[in-house]
Amino acid sequence: MVVITKFIVTGASGHIGNNIIRELVKNGEKVIALVRRENDESLDFLDIEKVIGDVRDIDILKELIDEETIVIHSAGIICFSGKNKEELYDVNIKATINLANTCIEKNAKKFVYIASVDGICREANECIREPYQFYPDRIESLYGKTKAVASKYILEQIENGNLNGVILYPSAVIGPNDFKISNTGEIILNCIKGKIMVRIKGGYNFIDVRDVARATIMAAVNETDSSYLLTGVNVSIDELVSLIYEKLEKKHLPIKIPLWVANTGLFLIEKYNNIFSKDTPYNRQTLKYLGSNHNYVNERAINDLDLNVRCIKESISDTIDWFIANKL
């Protein structure tokens, strides 16, 4: 009897999730995608099985998981504004813990948790490596706190031998198939559409979503350590916008403003959004991230998962081409 491994991917229609599925399909794997609705353009024309449901409904997943199942858990809510607190906890913490416990109960083949570098507490100038301790109370963003709490629990289960699993910590992802439009994708779209943009001091660490997808599958099918940083290259806002404008053949870069001006503007935007119950990916919390430490060490993923970090210029070019072909 031939036993076929099946992959269950949560957060299947998200930026990371749908790119993982595309890579799995390319490899000829059997994929079950957990989706919220049947008609989702991010998964159109892919040879997969779709299961309609919510990651918080663990009964659905209990019926699917068995000893030959590899679960790739990429579902999560990314929010830095402080809104949707209850939903953040339900999805990022409770659903993750419930899913891990189900994998333990069902003796699943492997559990791959897509966490985030935002859940890692870091000092100002230190080299950042895979964490073995978590400090949720020292992390300012609610999103980062939820990722830290969930990562702590998963790591404990792995280290105690209860769960065959691995935690992956990607930085900011960039790349094609960005159907739901990520924060980075929104910046690129604004540049394409000629909306008013400004440049500020700071930057972030970016990794191509396709590199994340391939490393994730390597982590899923091979023996691994307990956790890996999936990080790429540090890019300043100046470099990011310059590369976008170079690809678009635009000559005049947006104006550069001091951080105090940006802080004041975002304070007023936050007040407006609170009054009218609106949300935005841009706030003073994200501004702090631009000035924080992004000195990640990704050697372990390069060695064990064959992580191949492509050039940021290629990532930006491919992302712009995809947006022009699909979103404009």
- The pLDDT score that the predictor gives to residue 318 is 98
Per-residue pLDDT tens over the stretch 147-205: 999 999 999 999 999 999 999 999 999 999 999 999 899 989 989 998 867 777 778 99
Reported confidence tier of residue 285, pLDDT bands at 50, 70, 90: low
CB 176 within 8 A of CB 314: no
Reported confidence tier of residue 277, pLDDT bands at 50, 70, 90: very low
Top-ranked range on mean pLDDT: pick from 52-66, 103-117, 271-285: 103-117
Domain membership flag for residue 324: no
Domain membership flag for residue 69: yes
Domain membership flag for residue 323: no
Give the integer Cα–Cα distance in Å for 141 and 130: 20
Reported confidence tier of residue 100, pLDDT bands at 50, 70, 90: very high
Angstrom CA distances, 74 to 9, 15, 170, 196, 211, stand at 7, 9, 11, 33, 15
CB 14 within 8 A of CB 152: no
Domain membership flag for residue 276: no
Return the CATH number at 101: 3.40.50.720
The pairing of strands 69-73 and 227-230 is unpaired
Name the DSSP class of 90. Answer: I
Domain membership flag for residue 159: yes
- Tally of structural domains, the chain: 1
- The pLDDT score that the predictor gives to residue 262 is 57
Q: Position 68: which residue type?
A: E
CB 35 within 8 A of CB 12: yes
Question: How confident is the model over 49-59, as a mean pLDDT?
Answer: 94
pLDDT of 232 strictly over 90: yes
Angstrom CA distances, 227 to 25, 131, 154, 192, 299, stand at 25, 8, 10, 37, 12
Domain carrying residue 228: 6-177+205-233+296-310
Domain membership flag for residue 238: no
Domain membership flag for residue 252: no
Among 42-51, 78-87, 96-105, 317-326, the least confident range: 78-87
CB 147 within 8 A of CB 92: yes
Domain membership flag for residue 317: no
- The pLDDT score that the predictor gives to residue 275 is 42
CA angle 254, 257, 262 (to 5 degrees): 115
